[in-house]
Amino acid sequence: MKKLKIYLDTSVISHLLHDDTPVRQADTIKLWERIKNGNYDVYTSTVTFYEIDECAEELRVKLRQFIDEIDVTIINLADIELELAEKIIEVGILTRKSIDDCYHIACAIVSECDIIVSWNIKHLVNIRTINGVRGISQLEGYKPIDIYTPQILLGVDFDDP
């Protein structure tokens, strides 16, 4: 069976350390173990590293160590067509204030990922963005892409402790 090709945004990696949200952290750790076991083809981008670089040094070091644990393809933002990110703003899916999220989406679409995995409910994992991203993908000639939280990807019961 073909592995799912997933794109991880920064929120997933950072939730490995979010002990203030224990359920999300636990689900992220479960996903991370599956990733380390090679269950998925994993992608992220230089956008993720830019966002990590804005963290305090101790946190930045820990987050980069997590990334070093996995086999991941890193998409260089300079290598993709940024017009796709601009179109996401033009059509009103997201605003310019969320340009990094637009870059994450564009990187995942251009790389033909199956799923964007994110804990960013406000900007990414919501019906408006999901439907808009599906529409943009189709309109621009790319394959459809979904956006899930780790919980949804894992098939975890939301009532699980």
pLDDT at position 1, please?
Answer: 76
Residue 63 in any domain: the answer is yes
> What pLDDT, in 10s, does the model give residues 106-160?
999 999 999 999 999 999 999 999 999 999 999 999 999 999 999 999 986 555 4
pTM of the predicted model as reported, rounded to 2 decimal places: 0.94
Q: Tell me which residue range forms the domain holding 121.
A: 4-154
Residue 72 in any domain: the answer is yes
Rounded mean pLDDT of the chain? 94
Label residue 161 by pLDDT band (50, 70, 90). Answer: very low
Residues 47-65: b if buried by 16+ CB within 10 A, e if exposed: bbbebbeeeeeeeeeebee
Residue 96 in any domain: the answer is yes
Kind and range of the H or E run holding 43 = strand 40-45
Residue 160 in any domain: the answer is no
- Give me the CATH number covering residue 31: 3.40.50.1010
List the Cα angle 136/9/72 in 5-degree steps.
Answer: 105
Kind and range of the H or E run holding 75 = strand 72-75
How many domains does the chain fold into? 1
Residue 69 above 50 pLDDT?
A: yes
Q: Tabulate helix, strand, coil % of the chain (nearest 5).
A: 55, 15, 35
Residues 44-56: what's their mean pLDDT? 96
Residue 105 above 50 pLDDT?
A: yes
Residue 110 in any domain: the answer is yes
Determine the Cα–Cα distance for residues 77 and 47; give it in Å rounded to an integer.
Answer: 7
Residue 159 in any domain: the answer is no
Residue 98 in any domain: the answer is yes
> What pLDDT, in 10s, does the model give residues 30-42?
999 999 999 999 9
List the Cα angle 81/84/87 in 5-degree steps.
Answer: 145
pLDDT at position 157, please?
Answer: 54
pLDDT at position 156, please?
Answer: 62
Residue 2 above 90 pLDDT?
A: no
Per DSSP, what are the bridge partners of residue 4?
Answer: 40
Residue 161 in any domain: the answer is no
